[in-house]
Amino acid sequence: MMRSCLLWLLALSLCSTEACRTNRKVQSSMKTTVFGKLRDGREVHQYTLTNKAGMVAQIIDYGATVTSLLVPDRNGKIEDVVLGYDSVQGYVDGTAYLGALVGRYGNRIGKGRFQLDGKEYQLTINDGENHLHGGKIGFNKVLWEAKPDGGSGEPSLVLQYVSRDGEEGYPGTVVLNVRYTLTNKNEMRIEYEGTTNRATILNPTQHSYFNLSGSFTKTILNHQLMIEADDMTPVDKGLIPTGRIASIANTPFDFRNLTAIGARIDDSDEQLIYGRGYDHNWVLRNGHGEVRKAAELYEPASGRLMTVLTNQPGLQFYTGNFLDGSAKGKNGIAYGHRTGLCLEAQAFPDTPNRPEFGSVTLRPGQRYGQTTIYQFSTRQRSKENRT
């Protein structure tokens, strides 16, 4: 409760409703505080980034995790739009990857096995018979080294993690740098750069759960979504891609126009039954490595609009189907079924076992690069002409 009150006071001091309505600027800044301690005594720090428009992002160095994102609605009211916890222990014990940076491989690898240069590697199994989001101790469960950087006039935080050879079964020592920048265009810009000392695979992603209503007691079913994709990758019962690329036309997966998420989520579709809702990879258009628009997410009541841009080939849309109210989040709120959604930019799931999906191999001398942007704006009611 104390942390939530401080967040509210922070938002109020940075941007009152009247200040936001009149577009009054505040000074961009970054502040560092101690968020808590791990069981071994190491401190976890929280970095508060504020841009000139008054938007605020808070990030901790445990898991390179986004803990809160304060964004105005159409009336200038600032509210938090990402699920999270009030304490370090919530993130240590949590199993839903709330706000975390996941890897080495975001998403699933079938049976945790893959071959590289003629050698088979066995990764940690942590999702049924499969490997998910880097294993039992992935990037979300380690302390990163953080370095604030505000030299550009826009607050920026660089986090680095060195993943040692053999960690969770992965070959090679990988050095991954992730830069979070809160731009003055109300964007949370995430840039990744990775290197390795021997051939490996790498596919990190950001796993924030969004609820643009500003209330974590509400579901995301009335949010409207558009994805820049004509196809998706169907999965089996274990949510591992079958290898097919399937058209979304005339299916519940057609989000080529803004569509309410709840409109078809409970249809008697085999893929929806497998995922208990949406938990699938969309094949983004123009997947040639350039940053382009991947999706739009709109919440009609608040008017908040989030645009996702990325240079990745795929986007995982997940509707919080495994949230069951057992985990207590901010203010002690129990995060119920479908109270948050993820839009994760990525290479396709199980790509190491599906050469038809491309390659996620990183070799010495090469650099892994990814850019993903979550851009926030608002839409007035008079412009709500799509359903």
Which amino acids are annotated catalytic?
A: 207, 344
Separation of alpha carbons 51 and 73, rounded Å? 16
In Å, the largest CA–CA distance within the chain is 63
Phi and psi at residue 35, to the nearest 5°: -85, -30
Separation of alpha carbons 361 and 368, rounded Å? 9
Q: Specify the amino acid at residue 318.
A: Y
Torsion of CA 225, 231, 233, 236, to 10 degrees: 80
Residue 326 falls in which region: left (phi positive, over 0), alpha (psi -120 to 50) or beta: alpha
Separation of alpha carbons 60 and 134, rounded Å? 19
Contact 181, 50 (CB under 8 A): no
Query: Within its chain, how far is the Cα of 132 from the centroid?
Result: 15
Provide the 8-state DSSP code for 319.
-
Q: Specify the amino acid at residue 336.
A: G
Provide the 8-state DSSP code for 186.
S
3-state secondary structure of 13: helix
Of the candidates 134, 322, 347, the residue with the CA atom closest to the CA atom of residue 241: 347
The DSSP bridge pattern shows strands 174-182 and 29-37 to be unpaired
Torsion of CA 160, 357, 109, 132, to 10 degrees: 50
Sign of CA dihedral 319, 324, 325, 327: negative
